[in-house]
Structure 1
């Protein structure tokens, strides 16, 4: 198929997202720097050396005037000492003031975040402690965000992480969107829906896989078409042969019956009966074979509106007559059912009848069969369960398959695993489901049909 979309390699797609990520970060950093500068110009924030400059501008006044409380900037600390280092006054604690004197005596200008200015006076010495860092002019902001630089670093880090998550999610969605074409193709092939044109994505690596699947799809389609055509021919030949065999069997049976009407010795009578028995077996085999051919074809159901209550009564009457010879107790449990349904009456009766017949065959003499029918909000539920041996683990998964012959069928030469298979096919053609289970009530087998009401 000709590609009508422009494709890119996954590395180019990834590089595009990386470039966008980097550009976004650069823009954000530029905006942050701009706003940072704007905050200083608009007097929202003090620059880092604001208090140092303020102290220097007031140095002469601090050194000369007696009262200096008004000359010391807010958020700065000071202490006055005599020339021997004794604390005279200030807004530092006495202990802190002594520590500051020791620092200055050791010719240090800072400890930790604080820097110290020594201002000699006539009768004493003033030492002012201050920090070199930006701060908010507004005291409330300064109280809750005492370090704007650290706050900005944290905000930048959070935004950086958020950007990574956003771009990673965008990249994931892009890849997921392009992968959708690949998943749709594989799903259709898995379902053996091979009559479709593949749709290509906009990523080269994904398209390479889709192209390989397209080639595989074409090869598989050709292979399956050949297989289906061969199977169709074989079925037609088998069906034709089955019909052809019926003619000589009819002749053999007719001749054997004519011979049987004459005077025969005991040995001749035995041989004649053997011929008639085997002819009947052959007729059963051919009938089963023809049923297989008929069931495997796309049979069109003749659905009509049928009286469901009347239909169930007919099924029950038929089932009760099947149970008479083996003295089987047939119990009916009827819940609320719809008055009418859309169905092929004869196909549905055949499906249910096959299961009841199967239940009768494997229920022991004086055993029991329970037939239940009811409805829920969406479906009609029909259940047939019988006493006797339950399904084996293998039979639960395979008993409704064509030609399956488990332990239950080995006792009957005429049983070729077709009853449950045909029933399942009929129910499926009605849009329903057949489920095989074991009965908790009777200890034997249990088969349930789930049918749509319409």
Structure 2
């Protein structure tokens, strides 16, 4: 039985020694949640991109540079230009010998190749040709467009432009949506922002819940409820604050108890003195009446006067004690 009591005492001592988790751990874990969540979002984006590449929904980033020769050779071998033979990884522009546009899918990207077409007017350069256009700026910063062209048997020239970025495998998706990397980037940014806001709101809720014992203790002290002890939390710094509030509550309670006891003592003293005043007042009143009616003469008058004087001294002492009790 003694051993059980000893174990119980040791457990209680251990609980008192454990002051709670550090606030840095409580707050820091939410940063870990954010980092892990952001890594998960990036991993999701990579897996999604790989899935689109495997399914053929998207061309890989190096498709344009790896297959441009093959596409140009296929176009050169055609009797009549067929744009369906050009994968959506390329933008094309077909011009005649004078540089006039015959067919294109450039849309609002026409400036990419029109300057090249202008430089090829009247050119009889045979075969394939490759150059790199100057950089132009889009929402993600600088991006380089590459182009190649081939002179077909009918004298027309077809120019192909491409970027070293993944592209949708259909022109409809390529022209109606942002680049797949841009889409994934905005999706990751939105998911990351939502994650940060969500974890921040969760952290604020948890921290406010851990600080609730301090707020409740402050409300009780403000309402003069000094009997209820201050609670505890599982956060070290909050427990330090609660311990300080508990000391303040105990000190206030002790001060108020001492004041109450002093008030009680003063009230009892005043009550006792009030009773003590009745006797000398009665003596003074009775002897004063005897002297006033002339019933006491000679030695009796002197005795009555002495009694009055003694009662007056008692009254003076009582008055002094009342004054002392009032300013105690």
Decide which of 132, 138, 145 is 1:109's aligned counterpart: 132
Q: Over the residues paired in the alignment, what is the CA RMSD in angstroms? A: 3.6
- CA gap 1:248/1:138 in 2 versus in 1, 3 angstroms: farther
Give, in angstroms, the shift of residue 110 of structure 1: 2.6
The residue number in structure 1 matching 2:86 is: 72
The residue number in structure 1 matching 2:256 is: 224
Give, in angstroms, the shift of residue 201 of structure 1: 0.8
Normalising by structure 2, report the TM-score.
0.66
2:131–2:148 Cα contact (<8 Å) kept: no
2:41–2:191 Cα contact (<8 Å) kept: no
The residue number in structure 2 matching 1:307 is: none
The residue number in structure 1 matching 2:116 is: 100
1:248 & 1:25 partners in 2: Cα distance? 92
1:200–1:210 Cα contact (<8 Å) kept: yes
Normalising by structure 1, report the TM-score.
0.50
- CA gap 1:140/1:92 in 2 versus in 1, 3 angstroms: closer
2:147–2:159 Cα contact (<8 Å) kept: yes
Correspondence list, 1:360-379, <5 A: none
Give, in angstroms, the shift of residue 156 of structure 1: 1.4
How many residues are treated as equivalent by the alignment?
263
1:10 & 1:39 partners in 2: Cα distance? 44
- CA gap 1:15/1:88 in 2 versus in 1, 3 angstroms: closer
User: Is 1:9 aligned to residue 9 of structure 2?
Assistant: no
Give, in angstroms, the shift of residue 141 of structure 1: 4.2
Structure 1: runs of 5 or more not aligned: 263-288, 290-454
The residue number in structure 1 matching 2:207 is: 175
1:236 & 1:140 partners in 2: Cα distance? 99
Decide which of 12, 18, 37 is 2:50's aligned counterpart: 37
1:117 & 1:144 partners in 2: Cα distance? 24
Structure 2: runs of 5 or more not aligned: 1-11, 124-128, 137-143, 295-321, 323-328
1:107 & 1:138 partners in 2: Cα distance? 25
- CA gap 1:177/1:170 in 2 versus in 1, 3 angstroms: same
Which one has a larger percent strand, Structure 1 or Structure 2?
Answer: 1
1:135–1:142 Cα contact (<8 Å) kept: yes
1:174 & 1:187 partners in 2: Cα distance? 20
- CA gap 1:62/1:224 in 2 versus in 1, 3 angstroms: same
- Note the alpha carbon deviations across 1:77-130, whole angstroms, 9 max, x for none: 222343xx544733379x966522345689733354543112133452523233
Tell which deviates more after alignment, 3-12 or 181-190.
3-12
2:290 & 2:176 partners in 1: Cα distance? 117
Decide which of 246, 253, 270 is 1:214's aligned counterpart: 246
Which one has a larger percent helix, Structure 1 or Structure 2?
Answer: 2
1:237 & 1:55 partners in 2: Cα distance? 112
- Note the alpha carbon deviations across 1:361-399, whole angstroms, 9 max, x for none: xxxxxxxxxxxxxxxxxxxxxxxxxxxxxxxxxxxxxxx
1:80 & 1:142 partners in 2: Cα distance? 23
1:61 & 1:184 partners in 2: Cα distance? 80
